Structure 1
Amino acid sequence: MVVMSSEEFAPPKYAQIVQAIRQKIADGTYPPNSLLPSETQLVREFGVSRPTVVRALQVLQLRGIIEREHGKGSFVKAPPPGSAEQSARPGRAVLDRVEAEENCSVIDAGPLAVPAPIAKLLDIPEGSPVVRRRVLFRDDERPTDLFMVWCPAHRAEGTQLGEVRPLTAGIRQHLRASKGLKLQHVVERLSARHPSADEAKLMDISKTTPVLGVLASVFNGGGRPVLVVDLVLPGELHELEDSYSL
């Protein structure tokens, strides 16, 4: 009989950091609206690499537990009345990610003809010119998620969405700075599925590995769809959590 050690059942390093920070928030060590230790401090505290810390903070942001502000740090979000924590908002979280500060690769970025499913979400004719951007994020162990954004070509003009280099600001901030475009509303669709052959290859997973797909339509203040975000998350590395009052 083979006896397996407890280390073989230990969660990934970033998940251990998530658990530790959540415990400190729960016990009051990090109260609502407080500033978390810097990434450098967390690297020293947990003895891990910076990509692992960044991944943990991204998970906490995705779950609505913290808010990350470029140049300022990560803050504990105050829970709404009657709930333990805010709802997970993966669409918003990925729009605020700063690629240049994370361990990621821009797979491709540039113009192409929009396929029918995305055209419907963008409310434009099939085959219309769009700019697609695909970015693969990693921690120091493996790929963690694949992010894809579709933007009509006329809205992407004058931005860096079509450039194959990491953005130095989140997409939401970048569009506002470069185009004066304010993103105000997101509609998300979540699905459990198997990855496509291309997704499986990029994320180094099998074609039968369950993934969570988040397809988000992003609207401007006038109610027009301006972006479609497609996020692919390996099921074994992610969970979405929600809480609400009855």
Structure 2
Amino acid sequence: MSSEEFAPPKYAQIVQAIRQKIADGTYPPGSLLPSETQLVREFGVSRPTVVRALQVLQLRGVIEREHGRGSFVKAAPPVSAEQSGRPGRAVLDRVETGENCSIVEAGRQVATAPVAKLLDVPEGSPVVRRRVLFRDDERPTDLVTVWCPAHQADDTQLGEAEPLTVGIRQHLQTRKGLKLQHVVERLSARHPSAEEAKLLEIRKTTPVLGVLASVFNGGGRPVMVVDLVMPGDLHELEDSYSL
């Protein structure tokens, strides 16, 4: 096998390169990173790949993005759980219009037994399911499915087949005044379902990383379930914490 088979995806290579330049002082704290157009030329990738890399850096607390101004390097903060990688949180803050994605499904259906149990609602209750497939230059990178009770999705765009212009967390707070307080994640390595394999363009025997996240409000009630499926050969989960 060639070493290229083990190379990280392009967006991860950009993340590594920028973090290295921050570490060696090329991009000091407070400095402005090259524009998206400049990064596209530098790394020879598409704009969605660059945008995804910048979003990863933002979610990890490395940079701060300001609309109309660009991306700025943040001062190195102390490591905390809030700044470390959290897949469920990343999904809730992900902006669909900033990435190469397609809405596979969005609308009402009845809650199956497993979903009803996670949402603490009766089986057969109306829920809204939103499924979004994300891609990079070469192939699908992850599949996100969100379920929430139908009354929580009323007056929101979760059930509409159009990309969201803000993250789900901000969207719910703006439209419903709903604050999402904490997430319980369960990680697993498994084989994809037939539908997941088809959407992700992988074999049924290809391992995937699955993240099942229950999202709770301030009263401790589950208000959303997020299912994130990622091809195992494209992703690794990173965390950092103090001892």
Q: Give the TM-score, by structure 2 length.
A: 0.88
Q: 1:208 aligns with which of 199, 205, 210?
A: 205
Q: Is residue 2:63 matched to residue 1:71? A: no
Q: 1:108 corresponds to which residue?
A: 105
Assess, with a 3 A threshold, how the Cα gap between structure 1 residues 25 and 162 changes in structure 2: closer, same or farther. same
Residue 85 of structure 2 corresponds to 88
Match of 1:22 among 19, 36, 45: 19
Task: Give unpaired runs (5+ residues) of structure 1.
Answer: none
Match of 1:197 in 2: 194
Q: Distance in 2 between matches of 1:71 and 1:166?
A: 18
CA offsets per residue over residues 178-227 of structure 1, 9 Å max, x none? 11111121111111111111000000000111111111111112221111
Q: CA deviation at 1:39?
A: 2.3
Q: 1:103 to 1:70 in 2, by over 3 A?
A: farther
Letter in 1 for 2:62: I
Give 1:165's aligned amino acid: E
Matches within 5 A, 1:87-236: 87-236=84-233
* Mapped partners of 1:82, 1:11: distance in 2: 24
> Structure 1 114/183 Cα, relative in aligned 2: closer, same or farther at 3 Å?
same
The farther-off stretch of 68-77 and 45-54 is 68-77
Is the partner of 1:149 in helix, strand or coil? strand
8 Å Cα contact 1:186-1:217 kept in structure 2: yes
More divergent stretch after superposition (64-73 vs 9-18) = 64-73
1:237 aligns with 2:234: yes
The alpha-carbon distance between structure 1 residues 114 and 34, as it changes in their structure 2 partners (threshold 3 A), is farther
Asked if 2 retains the 8 angstrom alpha-carbon contact of 1:129 and 1:152, the reply is yes
Conservation of the 8 A alpha-carbon contact between 2:8 and 2:234: no
Tell me: CA distance 1:11–1:213, structure 2 relative to 1, closer, same or farther (3 Å): closer
> 1:35 touches 1:74 (CA, 8 Å); kept in 2?
yes
1:117 deviates by 1.7
8 A Cα contact 1:86 1:242, kept in partner:
no
Identical columns (%): 81
Match of 1:48 in 2: 45
CA RMSD after TM alignment: 2.6
- Deviations 1:14-65 (CA, angstroms, capped at 9, x unpaired): 2321220121222233445655433233213323210221232344456x25
Shift in Å, 1:67 = 5.7
TM-score, normalising length: structure 1: 0.87
Give the 3 Å change call, closer, same or farther, for CA 15–81 of structure 1 in structure 2. closer
Over 3 Å counting, the alpha-carbon distance change for 1:74 and 1:112 in structure 2 is farther
Runs of at least 5 residues in structure 2 that lack an aligned partner in the other structure: none
CA distance in 2 between counterparts of 1:199 and 1:33 reads: 41
Give the whole-Å Cα distance in 2 for the aligned partners of 1:214 and 1:52.
Answer: 22
Distance 1:180 1:237 in 2: 36
Q: 1:120 to 1:68 in 2, by over 3 A?
A: farther
